[in-house]
Structure 1
Amino acid sequence: MAVRNGRLTVLSVLPFAMMTAVTVTDIAAGPAVGFLPLVSLGPAFAPLVGGWRRTAGIGAIALLLCVGLGWYNDLLDARRGYMTFLSVLGVTAAGLVAVSMRQKREAELDNVRSIAEAAQRVLLKPVPRLAGQIRAAVSYMSAVTEARIGGDLYEVVASPHGVRVIVGDVQGKGLEAVETAAVVLGAFREAAPDEADLAAVGRRLERAVERQMEDEKFVTAILAEVKAEEVAFLNFGHPAPLLIRADGSVIWPEPPAYALPLGLHAHSTAPPEPFRTDFRPGDQLLLYTDGVTEARGTDGRFYPLAERTHLLKEHDAETALETLRQDLLQHVNGPLHDDAAMLLLRYR
């Protein structure tokens, strides 16, 4: 945001800086050289920022400079003086047309952003901060900055069978990825409260994705079910979660054998099997997408998530996750190249 504001400031003063530079140079060089035609650079840069009044005002200032410099260079009655006046008028008129077109595009983009934000609120609803004995916090960053929405997905559902969560990553980007994410989340929200077995939830997701996906596209996902100081996982080709024990030790729960992602069931001979580990009071579980661990810094290194677990020691889960998010952005030092979602679960 600070970089964007700085660019707007530069673009705002650029027309005045150009006209000032031309005026000073013309006066310093004397009438023999004549930089008068360059005054039109001011109105040429005016449409980049602001509305039509600002552009017309800069054009009027340029005309006044033409009069002053034309008198100084004794060009008021010369053909070159007339051509300079006409050039400034023409550039100003073109600038007014450009401003109108730019404002129309900005209005269309604002509409797209509003629709994207509405879709984001429907697709990725705020997770419940408390679900049974679990405190949850979520962070989502889209690589498509203007759209503010992408193909990563997450959800937390408090069901009669325990607290069930999903974190997934749809192959690809854009509206098609968003549509697929909506299918997966819809199937999970429907199946999580109904199915007594976590594997049955996975089968429901698989069927939903197979009806939707085409051309060998897929969704990596990990499902987790927390109950009775135990967490069960079902991993569909997704990165292993990060489990931080109350004593600070770290483990990466991995399945005995990784299953193929959702949508590639036809190529698999065996569905994924749930695997379990302890999840006791004071423990933390971080589920994430590969946009986190594959985020490269300026030195080309991937984000060292395992080395950043100390950032999650904040008492408040949302504050802890925000600290980790800011550290990730500092590591990248620029825009993300892939969507990045993180879901933090704490056993109260």
Structure 2
Amino acid sequence: MIPLALILVITVIDILVPADVHLGPLLVVAPALTASFAGPRLTAFVGALAIGAQVFIGVHFGVLNTRNVMVQVFSLTLLSALIVFICGVRERRRRELARVRSVAEAAQKALLRPLPHRIGPLRIASLYLAAEHEAEIGGDLYTATGTDDGVRMIIGDVRGHGLSAVGESALLLGAFRVVADQHDTLPELAGALDRSVSRYLADFVEVADEVGEHFITALLLEIPSDGHTTRMTCCGHPPPLLLHEHHVRTLTSPQPAPPLGVAGLQVTQFPVDEFAFVSGDTLILYTDGVTEARNEGGAFYPLAQRVGQWTTSNPEALLDHIRRDLLAHCRGHLGDDAAIIAIQRRPDPRPDGTDG
């Protein structure tokens, strides 16, 4: 309605003002404004109305056949046609971009599938926040798989962020899904993943000097179905948080291994750490994009401090609190991809089959 109103207002004013004042050339604003929000057809329609208004003004004053008015009509026609052409090109590119985005979103969702809400005695929620706009995943990764006696999980972070890190992320996820249940211990599994990453970097990183700049931090977790002893192997990754009886504890590994794929390091032994993970406890796994998010003053996001106020929340509610608080802390501008997983061990079932 605004372009139509502009045409009407400009036409009326041009008729009312003195004859030596010419506002007709301003009619080009109407199709130009229409092109900013509409397609080529509507833009062409508004352009035709603007040309018609210019002709009407010429007829009203009886000067349509003069050189000045004819040049104005011709110029308005040419400019309107150009605007319609540019609008058509923009719309075609927009449709192409929409198709590319739909394919990219499908590929990204296939690569980083959401974790199931329940695996055995565990209740799980996951959250991914990509640093790049319009992207759903980047260099952070996580997945889980069931084994004969429990669940094995991985959360990792490829050096760098955004779509450029997706290839290495896909490699580690694929390798984990294949070999997660083929090794008896987490150190053996970590060694197999380290070899896979190293081979990939040697084969696909084109510049040899850049191989050392590519690596993946990872945290491997093994949660048995029976018993309360959970094992983890940390490969240069931020330590998880354990929420137990309204207290928050950081599960720092005394001897963490280096990240996977670090060039020149032959890691022969990956440490394994054990800790109690009992009914009602919640584990929080995360990547450094969470704790390194900065506010306007440059302060990092205090994850361990903030989650202390939500220790009674279920995994879904807990991640919703963290997401809102994290984005408010950095004003919606993450410097790196951020992934968070909340795992809660459900209470042991009662004899009648209900949760205790």
Contact 1:206 1:262 in 2 (8 A): yes
Distance apart, 1:153 and its partner CA: 0.6
Mapped partners of 1:115, 1:318: distance in 2 = 28
Match of 2:231 in 1: 232
The alpha-carbon distance between structure 1 residues 176 and 333, as it changes in their structure 2 partners (threshold 3 A), is closer
Structure 2 matches for 1:1-40, cutoff 5 A? Answer: 15=3, 30-40=18-28
Give CA-to-partner distance per residue, 1:256-289, whole Å, 9 cap, x none: 1333211105236664311122111111111111
Structure 2 matches for 1:190-339, cutoff 5 A? Answer: 190-213=178-201, 214=205, 215=210, 216=212, 217-227=214-224, 228-245=227-244, 247-264=245-262, 266-267=264-265, 271-310=269-308, 312-313=310-311, 315-339=313-337
The answer to whether the aligner puts 1:189 opposite 2:177 as a matched pair is: yes
Distance apart, 1:71 and its partner CA: 5.8
Match of 1:347 in 2: 345
The answer to whether the aligner puts 1:57 opposite 2:14 as a matched pair is: no
The alpha-carbon distance between structure 1 residues 34 and 142, as it changes in their structure 2 partners (threshold 3 A), is same
SS in 1 for 2:217: strand
Contact 1:241 1:285 in 2 (8 A): yes
Mapped partners of 1:234, 1:22: distance in 2 = 73
| Higher Rg of the two aligned structures | 2
The alpha-carbon distance between structure 1 residues 79 and 335, as it changes in their structure 2 partners (threshold 3 A), is farther
**Consecutive unaligned residues in structure 2, runs of 5 or more:** 347-356
Contact 2:295 2:331 in 1 (8 A): yes
Mapped partners of 2:222, 2:14: distance in 1 = 75
Mapped partners of 2:70, 2:299: distance in 1 = 60
The alpha-carbon distance between structure 1 residues 29 and 268, as it changes in their structure 2 partners (threshold 3 A), is farther
Which residue type is aligned with residue 345 of structure 1? Answer: I
Which residue type is aligned with residue 224 of structure 1? Answer: L
The alpha-carbon distance between structure 1 residues 162 and 82, as it changes in their structure 2 partners (threshold 3 A), is same
SS in 2 for 1:137: strand
Paired residue for 1:157, among 131, 139, 145?
Answer: 145
Distance apart, 1:312 and its partner CA: 3.9
Paired residue for 2:103, among 115, 121, 134?
Answer: 115
The alpha-carbon distance between structure 1 residues 84 and 198, as it changes in their structure 2 partners (threshold 3 A), is same
Give CA-to-partner distance per residue, 1:14-69, whole Å, 9 cap, x none: x5676577568767865444333222122223323222221112212322332355
Mapped partners of 2:193, 2:141: distance in 1 = 13
**Number of residue pairs the alignment of both structures matches:** 335
SS in 1 for 2:145: strand
Give CA-to-partner distance per residue, 1:205-252, whole Å, 9 cap, x none: 10111111232211111111123212222112111212111x211111
Structure 2 length as normaliser, TM-score?
A: 0.84
Report sequence identity in percent: 39
SS in 1 for 2:251: coil
The alpha-carbon distance between structure 1 residues 83 and 242, as it changes in their structure 2 partners (threshold 3 A), is farther
The alpha-carbon distance between structure 1 residues 39 and 343, as it changes in their structure 2 partners (threshold 3 A), is same
Distance apart, 1:174 and its partner CA: 4.8
Distance apart, 1:146 and its partner CA: 2.1
Mapped partners of 2:240, 2:65: distance in 1 = 79
The alpha-carbon distance between structure 1 residues 37 and 136, as it changes in their structure 2 partners (threshold 3 A), is same
Mapped partners of 1:144, 1:86: distance in 2 = 46
SS in 2 for 1:267: coil
**Consecutive unaligned residues in structure 1, runs of 5 or more:** 1-11
Mapped partners of 1:89, 1:206: distance in 2 = 66
Mapped partners of 2:334, 2:19: distance in 1 = 53
Mapped partners of 1:120, 1:102: distance in 2 = 26
Mapped partners of 2:324, 2:12: distance in 1 = 46
Contact 2:128 2:136 in 1 (8 A): no
The answer to whether the aligner puts 1:87 opposite 2:89 as a matched pair is: no
Contact 1:312 1:324 in 2 (8 A): no
SS in 1 for 2:124: strand
RMSD, aligned α-carbons: 2.7
Mapped partners of 2:5, 2:140: distance in 1 = 45
Which residue type is aligned with residue 236 of structure 2? Answer: G
SS in 2 for 1:272: coil
Contact 2:115 2:144 in 1 (8 A): yes
The alpha-carbon distance between structure 1 residues 161 and 198, as it changes in their structure 2 partners (threshold 3 A), is farther
Moved more, 66-75 or 199-208: 66-75
Which residue type is aligned with residue 160 of structure 2? Answer: G
Mapped partners of 1:73, 1:298: distance in 2 = 61
Structure 1 length as normaliser, TM-score?
A: 0.85
Contact 2:197 2:261 in 1 (8 A): yes
Mapped partners of 2:277, 2:5: distance in 1 = 63
The alpha-carbon distance between structure 1 residues 189 and 66, as it changes in their structure 2 partners (threshold 3 A), is same
SS in 1 for 2:151: strand
SS in 2 for 1:148: coil
Mapped partners of 1:21, 1:173: distance in 2 = 52
Which residue type is aligned with residue 225 of structure 1? Answer: E
SS in 1 for 2:264: helix
